[in-house]
Amino acid sequence: MLKPAAAIAGQVVLYGAFAAFIGYFATDPVYRQIPDDVAVIKVSFSHLGDRECRKRTPEELAKLPPNMRAPMDCPRERSDIRFELDIDDQNVVRHVLHPTGLYKDGISTMYRRLEVKAGTHKFSVRMQDNVKQEGWKFIKEETVELKPAQAMVIDFHPDKGGLFFK
């Protein structure tokens, strides 16, 4: 059986060694989420796809009850969304977003994280929220200077002009 002074000294040594162990791994080795010469691009947005409406013919309208004679027939279902991102004239993201929900009437959401070397890059972003239409409804092209460890977000707000970088 240890004497009380020896037991206390043993505890001090063991607790001190444990604290030194925790202290070392709290500061070393140094953890970097991204390398020093890299910037992060985040594509993050949510958007309702367009509805694929069609105009009803006069014959179709005549067959409907008077209170149901809306000139446009718009199904509940939303369109898929096409999205493309080019960096320095190379396509890095090409994606089709599907609407959520049981009846495909919900919002389409996208999140992508890309790492690029810091420096000047040309970004070209294209989006179409109605896949039955040809071409691109929203286009944003810009040359951006990215600093090391900078995070740039590509976002979409239809009421603020569409696609933008922040």
Give the position of tokens 């006069």: 58
Where does 38-51+77-165 sit in CATH, by number? 2.60.40
Positive/negative CA dihedral, 60, 62, 64, 69: positive
Question: pLDDT value at position 144?
Answer: 96
pLDDT for the residue numbered 4? 84
The pLDDT score that the predictor gives to residue 131 is 87
Give the tokens for residue 54.
């069609």
Provide the pLDDT for residue 98.
95
Residue type, 92: V
Sketch the domain layout of the chain as residue ranges: 1-31, 38-51+77-165
Contact 145/162 with Cβ under 8 angstroms? Answer: no
In single-letter form, the type of residue at position 140 comes to: K
pLDDT at 2: 58
Residue 30 is predicted with a pLDDT of 80
Residues ≥6 apart with Cβ < 8 Å to 49: 78, 79, 80, 81, 97, 99, 108, 129, 130
Backbone angles phi, psi at 153, to 5 degrees: -110, 130
166 residues of the chain, pLDDT tens digit each: 557 888 888 899 999 999 999 988 888 888 778 888 999 999 999 999 998 888 999 999 999 999 999 999 988 999 999 999 999 999 999 999 999 999 999 999 999 999 999 999 999 999 999 988 899 999 999 999 999 999 999 999 988 889 999 9
124's enclosing H/E stretch is strand 119-128
Specify the pLDDT at position 1: 56
Question: CA dist 55 to 75, 126, 166, Å?
Answer: 12, 28, 39
Q: Classify residue 67 by its DSSP letter.
A: G
